[in-house]
Each structure stands twice: as structure tokens, then as C-alpha cells.
Amino acid sequence: MAYVTHIKKVNPDLDYKKLLNNKVIKEGAELLKKGEVVAFPTETVYGLGAEANNSEAVKKIFSVKGRPADNPLIVHIADQKQLEKVVQGAEVPELNKLFSAFWPGPLTVIFQRQKVIPDITTAGLDTVAVRMPSHRVARALIARASFPLAAPSANISGGPSPTRAEHVYRDLKGKLSLIIDGGPCEVGVESTVLDLSGSGPEILRPGAITGHDISAVLGKPVPSSRQAEDNRAMTPPAPGMKYRHYSPAAPVILVHNCQPDNLKNYIHSRKPKEPGLIVSTETAQKIRGRGFFENFKIAEMGSIKDLSQAAHNLFACLRNMDYEGVDYIIVEAVPEKGIGRAVMNRLYKAAEEEVFLEQFDKKEGDR
């Protein structure tokens, strides 16, 4: 079925009671109640939502995105009352500390699920991933619909996640009727995923809330699951863990040591193809104005000194390079500290190749 897709703006700074009665929020809630899918903003990325307990509605998410059926969805809630309807074990000792510190916000927690959640939402797992978004438009929509929403990122499966309403429109126009525009997403990368369903807390996907943040709140070390990241044969316990993700149409090359001469030599080695460059503000300042680079598309992620900028801008930069039609995309690696770990997690999944530029000397570049 083809839809006429409308983008309708909602001011996220409205008083929450006014948001609940906003005509666009009401329209979105009515569509959700009819079993349709609606795209909406969160603080991380734009989501593609449907009633989490409605199997037929959730099927539409997979169809619209082209998403593999064994890739579970995150269930989004408006308040803790909705949590009790979705999960078992809401009395886990760590929860009160986590809720107080991080909810609403970009933290997804994996619990044992209630039977009311259908298999399609959890990819047949006995667990369910849940989060309470901090974006007021998202929470108002969920509250107005009066049920939790299953909602992956609102893009074609495998591509860069959308952080603006126009990104959703480019990917999904004609496949849904409503995109709620609440402005650019603040964080820009998907939520941290924390597993509380097993013997102890474990991070399955890095995000803006870091392992250090969680450990500080719980008062004990919280490990990250390398095994879960690397096991491609499993049914993934959380989104973004099995399939190639976040990739634009143009090949992505993840590059370390982006000094101008090294970068120039590497680009020479790939002639006649020409890249787009996604680099830090510091690297952009070094290469802008140098004759060799003046004809290339250059996008700045932000300063190495503030990696939240890189997280905020990464997916938009990847998309914009595709829109520019470059042959391939060089992305500068960032330090794997704080939110930089989440940025690099996405880049490792998006990249076709990883290159350390100190290996390219002038002689190799001049071949």
C-alpha cells in the first residue's frame, strides 16, 4: 500500500500538557491506535513506532524498513506504569538507581518480558528491551496513544540512522502517512543497551550513557559484552548487534592518523575515484585551503575535545556525503573514550575498510 507521507512539525518546547493536546500528537496517536506506523523524534535518533502488543502493526515496521525478522525491537514507554505491563522482574535491585539517574533518557534496559509482548517484537526472545525517551514529543505521543511503542530507527535497514525528519522522508516516503518533526535529535547515536536479564548488568551496545556512568551509579564495574558483539550466528539480544548497520551507499573507509600528507598519499592511491571527507574540526582546519583538498567535499564532525559533537553530527554527515554523490567516504577515527566509544562502534559497523595512514608513505602515494 502506498501512502502520501506528510511531515508535520511539533514544537518540543511546548508545555507538556499542551503537547498532549497538540493536534499533530493527537493525529499520530489515532494512527497508532488503527495499527499504523508513525515516525517520531527521540533524543537519540528518529524512531518508527507501532503498538508493541499488536503483532500486525509491528509486522509493518519490519516491512517498511526491510528489517530482518530476527532483529529485536526496543519498546518505548512514557512512564513506569507502562513498564510494569511490559516486563517481569521490575523489582531488580539496580532499577531504582538506574531510573533515578538515567530515565527518561538514552538508556535501554533488557528485562524478562511479559507474555503480552508478542514474539515478533522480541524476535522470539524471552527478554524485551525497554527505554523511556527524554524527548518530550516522543513521550507525549506514547502517553496519548496510551500503550508502549515498538520503535527501531526510522530508516531503511542497514543505512545511517535518521537524526532529522527530512532523513526519514528521504528513506521512507510513500511507506507511511505521518512523520512528526520535532527538530534535530540532540544525542545523534542510538541508546546505550544494558542487559539486566542475566546474572549481572552487562552493556550490549555503547551509547551516550557510558559504562563509567553506569558503574558510578551502581557502585560496581559493569562489563561490556565483546562476545555478543562478535557472535554473528546468534539471535541478537539487542538491536545493532548482528547485521551491518549505519552504512551509506558509498563505501566508508575508517581512517586513523589523518595528517594532511598521509591523507593526501592515501587518496592518491585510490585514484581516479574521489572521496568525501568526514573529519574533526582540527583536521579540517589543517586541510582546508591546501590546494590538493580544495575540490573535495569536506564535512566536520566537531572537535576532538568534545566528542558529543561527533555523535550528534555523524549520521547527518554520512547521509550528506551520499546526497553529494561521492565515490567513497573517508571518516576520521575518534578516541574511544566516553561517547567516542559509541561513535567508533557505529563506524566499525559502517566501514568496509579500516586504514592506518602512517602505512602510506610518499613513495606509495605517488605510484
pLDDT, residue 92, reads 67
Of 191, 15, 161, 188, the residue nearest 98 (C-alpha): 191
CA distance 208 to 135: 15
Residues for the chain: how many in total?
Answer: 367
CA distance 206 to 190: 8
Question: Tell me: the pLDDT tens digits for 280-300?
Answer: 999 999 998 888 998 899 999
pLDDT band with cut points at 50, 70 and 90 for residue 90: low
- Concatenated DSSP letters of 146-185: TS-EE--BSSSTTSPPP-SHHHHHHHHTTS-SEEEE--S-
The mean pLDDT value for 262-285 works out to 95
| Beta-strand runs (E) in the chain | 6-9, 38-40, 47-51, 74-76, 87-88, 107-113, 127-131, 149-150, 178-181, 192-195, 202-205, 252-256, 275-280, 297-302, 328-332, 353-356
pLDDT, residue 234, reads 47
Q: Which sequence spans correspond to the domains of the chain? A: 6-230, 252-365
Q: How many CA atoms lie within 13 A of 346 on its CB side?
A: 29
256, pLDDT greater than 60? yes
The mean pLDDT value for 185-203 works out to 93
Question: Tell me: the pLDDT tens digits for 46-84?
Answer: 999 999 999 999 999 999 999 999 999 999 999 989 998
Q: What 8-state DSSP symbol labels residue 114?
A: P
| 3-class SS of residue 200 | coil
Please tell me the least confidently modeled range out of 5-9, 30-34, 80-84, 278-282: 80-84
Question: Tell me: the pLDDT tens digits for 152-167?
Answer: 999 999 999 999 999 9
pLDDT, residue 245, reads 79
231, pLDDT greater than 60? no
CA distance 123 to 74: 11
- CATH for the 6-230 domain, from 3.90.870.10, 2.40.50.140, 3.40.50.280, 3.30.9.10: 3.90.870.10
pLDDT, residue 94, reads 78
The mean pLDDT value for 306-317 works out to 98
Q: Among residues of the chain, what percentage have pLDDT more than 70?
A: 91
pLDDT, residue 230, reads 46
User: Taking a C-beta distance cutoff of 8 angstroms, is the pair 48, 165 a contact?
Assistant: no
Average pLDDT across the chain, whole number: 92
The residues facing 75 across adjacent strands are 130, 150
pLDDT, residue 203, reads 96
252-365: CATH topology is Rossmann fold (3.40.50)
